[in-house]
Chain A
Amino acid sequence: MSRAARRPRKVLVANRGEIALRVIRACRALRITPVAVYSDADQGALHVHAADEAYRVGGAAPADSYLNIPAIIDAARRAGADTVHPGYGFLSENPAFAEACARAGLVFVGPPASALALCGDKAATRRRVAAAGVPVLGGTDPLDDQAAITAAADLGFPILIKAAAGGGGKGIHLVERSADLPGALRLARGEARTAFGDDRVYLERWLDRPRHIEVQIIADEHGAIVHLGERECSIQRRHQKVIEETPAPGLAATLRDAIRAAALTAARAVGYRNAGTVEVLASEGAFYFLEINARLQVEHPVTEVVTGIDLVALQLGVASGEPIPIRQEDVRLRGHAIECRISAEDTEQQFLPWVGRIGHVLLPGGPGIRIDGVLAPGAEITRHYDPLLAKLIAWGSTRDEAIARMAAALRETVVTGVPTTIPFHRWAVAHPAFRAGEYDTRFVDREWGTRRGPEGWMAALAAAVLAYRADGRTPLLPPQDVTAWTSAARREGIA
């Protein structure tokens, strides 16, 4: 069964953006040679700069590059890599890619292709997990539009449409009324087709005020499986997480223990290996299994911060056949961690993703602050990729301290050139319900619209002061040529 562990020497990172950089950092810590791949849009990207070798894999569109299996396998061969880390998204949960790696003699960092295939089929996973005794949420198998309309009438509204091959919130639509169902089905199928090449969707019952909880697990090929605590991910917009924290606040000890135990049961039931996340919805003292995310999650850093474990390093070790180096009783969760995802989105316009060029960047610091990001001044944000720019992670010995550090870090962070979600995060971490740990997945829908900004007179004052400044400026000196010295001199009345 088990083979002799062979530590990776050279890892090809089949991804881009902050997660590619994250994997490269783990490689460095393990003295493994990292290899990057890039599309035409990412020639100057930070993950290319950080790697020892980099190979072009195709055009800007994901299908031409980061989803291009032959090009990525070819890059691994040219680089002489022995291992491929897929990051999250793109090919990370694609069984065909895992098989292609195996055929090319490459270690794929993730579960075996069979487990990927099962976890990718949400309805089949649900049946398997339910058979193992874990509660699941009512729902359907993948179905056509006509069957969906009939099934929705039985399940009742509101109802969720989900992509059968889904992940990352793509293809998920909440439908409040039956009249909206046909249009929502069309959108969900379109998104699913673009994101996963598979437009099958299914319906799921909607719970009132549910909390989205997930458990980080890791399993090795020697039969060991360990959980690393849970994460609370209920702060979402467009069914995508934007703030995550661990441990989950406001979860009764018995429910927390039951969710953690069910996560291990679910992972065993599907023959899971390597790092994965078991997602559940918790509502009114009960919980329901949702799915297994067969990859490293975007929000993995909060778990790393409270456990002191480098999850990517752990993944690489387990993938190469090593046993998990820790036992369940050795896992200690220390303090509290929160992550805010900073994306290029216009919070004033329904969080619409934005394209453009990043201007200037000021990053925060101080005790307990970690940044996983690719915030390079001058970097171009294209419509081809996810608008995630950086993840800001704050640790504190208590939840209150973690929130206070996060609030301070968000104040310090400046990104110009594109709108970002920073104003949203500043609002959220100051919100009384968030501070009390009492929130659910509808928090943003319910509360964001009620926020208050400065009054109109303050905006008028701001505009007038900017006009005054422009009027006082020598027209021959465009603003970008004004150095800090000359603007200081002008303020002092010297120049």
Chain B
Amino acid sequence: MKRYWVRVGAEEFEVGVDSDGGTLRVTVGGAPHRVELTEPVPSWYTLVVDGMCHDLAVRDLAGPWTLSLDGRAYTAEVARTRRSGADAGPHPSARSEEVRSPMPGLLIAVHVGEGSRVEMGQALAIMEAMKMQMEIRAPHAGRVTRVHVGPGQEIAAGQLLVTME
């Protein structure tokens, strides 16, 4: 029996996995489940839990795993040893001081410069992808300390655009 400690959002689950070569015997918080994992096409799985089929895809394995389970996105952190007490608390979310691109696309305009004071919800920049434009808004009131990108630049999803304080 292998043991995993999996954090999903603020919750942590202890999961045991054992195999006799066929169906997996899995316990989550002590509750037993019979599980099959098949891969009809690479990186796309059918997860059968107690006879019920679920779609499972792995979106990103860098850092915490991003999984898509029945079309819903989950972030899961898997540890193979139990976390110490200090480490076991809720995980701090991405720092709100960093404004990142929600999608890949072209940066059309930047409305702020270093030192700009902004209100919550104020437009910081405009991005465009597939002819759709979108305002990137300030997550909170504050001051812009750094602008990392410029108009005309191709931006990746998750790329750092603006740092605020």
Contacts and interface: CB of A to CB of B under 8 A. Distances in A.
Given A354-B103, A457-B13, A468-B4, A463 B65 contact: yes
A174 to B, nearest CB: 15
A466 B13 CA distance: 15
A419 B15 contact: no
Interface residues of A, number: 57
A385 interface: yes
B6 A463 contact: yes
B79 to A, nearest CB: 9
A426 B54 CA distance: 13
A385 B73 contact: no
Contacts of B11: 456-457, 460
Interface of B is mostly: strand
Given A194-B131, A353-B103, A461 B33 contact: yes
Contacts of B8: 456-457, 459-460, 463
A414 B40 contact: yes
B138 interface: no
Contacts of B148: none
Contact of B133 (A190, A458, A487): A190
A195 B57 CA distance: 34
Contacts of A464: 4, 6, 13, 15, 17, 26, 28, 78
B123 interface: yes
B112 interface: no
B69 interface: yes
A417 B41 CA distance: 11
Contact of A191 (B24, B72, B105, B131): B131
B22 A491 contact: yes
B67 A195 contact: no
Determine the interface band of chain B, counting residues with CB < 8 A from chain A.
Answer: 35 or more
Contact of B71 (A238, A347, A384, A469): A347
Contacts of A187: 126, 133-135
Contacts of A492: 21-22
B2 A463 contact: no
B21 A459 contact: no
Contact of A362 (B33, B40, B68, B76): B40
A453 interface: yes
B2 A458 contact: no
A43 B157 CA distance: 26
A422 B39 CA distance: 19
Interface of A: 170, 183, 187, 190-191, 194-195, 238, 346-350, 352-356, 359-360, 362, 383-387, 414, 416, 419, 422-424, 426-427, 453-454, 456-469, 471, 479-480, 487, 491-493
Interface of B: 2, 4, 6, 8-9, 11, 13, 15, 17, 19, 21-22, 24, 26, 28-29, 33, 35, 37, 39-45, 47, 49, 54, 56-59, 65, 67-74, 76, 78, 80, 102-106, 108, 123, 126, 128-135, 154, 157
